[in-house]
Amino acid sequence: MIKSKIIESIRGYLIGQEPTSDSAGKVNYQRIAVACSEVFDTMLLALFSEDIKGFESSFVKDYTNQPIIRLGEVNYLAINDSFVALPEGRGVWYVKPSGSQSPLPRSGSHHRGILASLPVGDILNASVWKTGFIGADQKIIIENIGDSIYAMTTRWDYGLVRQFSAYGETEDVHILKYDLFVNQVLQWFGKRPLSPANDNS
């Protein structure tokens, strides 16, 4: 459903529950957008934890052919949208060289596992990624270890699980359990939910 239509639809429910007119502006568009953002992002956390089938196809946006930026010894990618803080850093779903089918491992426990599996004395030649702040903005940082074949790669692809606020006003937002989503937004405003709530998409 189109983002702006979701917000306007919920605004209609809210105004319908007001005993008088909305003269105080309590149900203005921006406040509803904030409520939708909080509910949507929270529901994505729950869906991720439940390992819902189709999560990637429904909620991951692909960013292709993104240029690497080199700042001294640091190589990073700008992140084009806000993303949901999923467990294990999965708000950034993948990072890979443009055109490749194989995503890089994320720096951290998997990276340490690779190192631990090497025979003593062997050197790891690989690239890994992590998110981190450069200045005030969060970036995807590419770390090249040893003689990595990706050290000179200049174009990268990545996927994000975007926050509701990152969607454009005319963009389609896939919301599983739509009635539950609406009810939770209404409750955010202290209003009674629609009845009955069900799990319609």
Q: Which two tokens stand for residue 187?
A: 């409750």
Q: How much is the pLDDT for 121?
A: 42
Q: Are 101 and 35 in contact (CB under 8 A)?
A: no
From the centroid of its chain, how far is CA 69?
A: 22
**What CA–CA distance (Å, rounded) separates 98 from 68?**
11
Q: How much is the pLDDT for 172?
A: 96
Tokens 């700008």 sit on residue? 78
Among the residues of the chain, which ranges form H helices? 3-17, 29-49, 55-59, 109-117, 178-188
> Per-domain residue ranges for the chain?
3-52+176-188, 62-161
Q: Which two tokens stand for residue 59?
A: 């909620």
Q: How much is the pLDDT for 17?
A: 61
Q: Are 51 and 72 in contact (CB under 8 A)?
A: no
Q: What does pTM read for this prediction? A: 0.82
Q: Which residues pair with 70 in a beta bridge?
A: 75
Pairing mode, strands 69-71 and 126-134? unpaired
**What CA–CA distance (Å, rounded) separates 157 from 191?**
43
Q: How much is the pLDDT for 75?
A: 95
Per-residue pLDDT of the chain (201 residues; tens, 9 = 90+): 999 999 999 988 888 765 555 545 567 889 899 999 999 999 999 999 888 788 999 999 999 999 999 998 899 999 989 999 998 889 999 999 999 999 998 887 555 555 555 544 444 678 899 999 998 899 999 998 888 899 999 999 999 999 999 999 999 999 988 999 999 999 988 876 665 444 444
Among the residues of 27-163, which ranges form H helices? 29-49, 55-59, 109-117
**How many degrees, rounded to 5, is the angle at CA 109 between CA 105 and CA 113?**
80
